[in-house]
């Protein structure tokens, strides 16, 4: 990245807390964007600044990342495609990082396969009610009862709350250990870069240069 000039405004990144943020920071470092301050695990600071490149970074809960980007509190966000789909904010999705790969699936006991094929009125538990609704209503044209959960969604069919779940499958081990299967695949997921719609125009040069560097770095791998 080129050194910034003094009259430049800060370009602000909102990163999804956790593994995705660490992977993103590693990749940014490879293209010359570092933020030393952020590496201190004991720090309670919420916002980190790279003065030289005029960049700011902050960590946020996944579902809040598209919100910060839509409202322009962050120019750029890095977050999973699952969250982008669920939040459905007015942002541009511009880059697929290719890490954080997993799948959004309908899962349940093998016996639930028949219920899906017959288009029965079933109960679907999910942390992603909008994705579940869109899949069943608009793609499958099946009326279902969607129940929002906040985690450990696999419990749904096990304790009799729901017939199936709509959830993320990465290695598949949570399903296996709980006697559940993937019954239908909704879509592949991975970490994506999103950009505020105004920033995309006002900061076009800097954002395009950043995208170019990321693409080149990913190609070299
Ligand atoms: C996610 C997801 C599955 C699990 C899938 O849960 O909801 O439960 O990971 O991964 P696997 O296929 O590799 O087993 P997470 O760990 O985010 O916790 P949560 O259940 O509280 O949402």
Q: What percent of the chain has pLDDT over 90?
A: 85
Do the beta carbons of residue 116 and residue 96 sit within 8 Å? no
Residue 107 has pLDDT above 80, yes or no: yes
List the structure tokens of 49: 């600044």
**Candidate of 167, 171, 177, 186 to mutate for ligand 1, largest count of ligand atoms within 8 Å of Cβ:** 167
pLDDT band at 119 (very low <50, low <70, confident <90, very high): confident
H or E, element range at 7: none
| Band of residue 89 on the pLDDT scale cut at 50, 70, 90 | very high
Tell me the pLDDT tens digit for each residue of 6-57.
Answer: 678 999 999 998 888 889 999 999 999 988 777 777 888 889 999 999 999 9
Confidence band, pLDDT 50/70/90 cuts, at residue 220: confident
Q: Which residues line the pocket of ligand 1, CB cutoff 6 A?
A: 127, 151-154, 167-174
* Nearest of 38, 20, 199 to residue 96 by alpha carbon: 20
pLDDT (tens digit per residue) in 45-83? 889 999 999 999 999 999 999 999 999 999 999 999 999
pTM of the model: 0.93
Measuring from atom 5 of ligand 1, which residue has the nearest CA? 169
Q: Which residue's CA lies nearest to atom 3 of ligand 1? A: 168
């Amino acid at each position: 990245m080129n050194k910034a000039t003094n009259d430049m405004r800060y370009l602000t990144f909102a990163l999804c807390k956790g593994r995705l943020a660490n992977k993103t920071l590693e990749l940014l470092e490879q293209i010359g964007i570092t933020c030393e301050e952020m590496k201190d695990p004991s720090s309670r600071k919420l916002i980190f600044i790279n003065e030289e490149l005029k960049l700011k970074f902050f960590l946020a809960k996944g579902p809040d990342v598209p919100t910060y980007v839509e409202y322009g509190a962050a120019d750029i966000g890095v977050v999973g495609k699952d969250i982008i789909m669920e939040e459905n904010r007015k942002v541009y999705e511009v880059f697929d990082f290719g890490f954080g790969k997993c799948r959004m699936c309908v899962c349940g006991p093998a016996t639930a396969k028949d219920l899906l094929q017959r288009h029965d009125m079933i109960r679907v538990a999910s942390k992603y009610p909008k994705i579940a609704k869109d899949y069943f209503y608009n793609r499958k044209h099946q009326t279902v009862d969607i129940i929002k959960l906040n985690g450990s969604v696999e419990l749904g069919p096990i304790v009799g709350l729901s017939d199936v779940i709509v959830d993320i499958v990465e290695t598949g081990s949570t399903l296996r250990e709980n006697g559940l299967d993937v019954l239908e695949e909704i879509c592949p997921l991975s970490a994506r870069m999103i950009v505020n719609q105004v920033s995309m125009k006002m900061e076009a040069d800097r954002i395009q240069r950043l995208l170019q560097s990321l693409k080149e770095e990913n190609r070299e791998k």
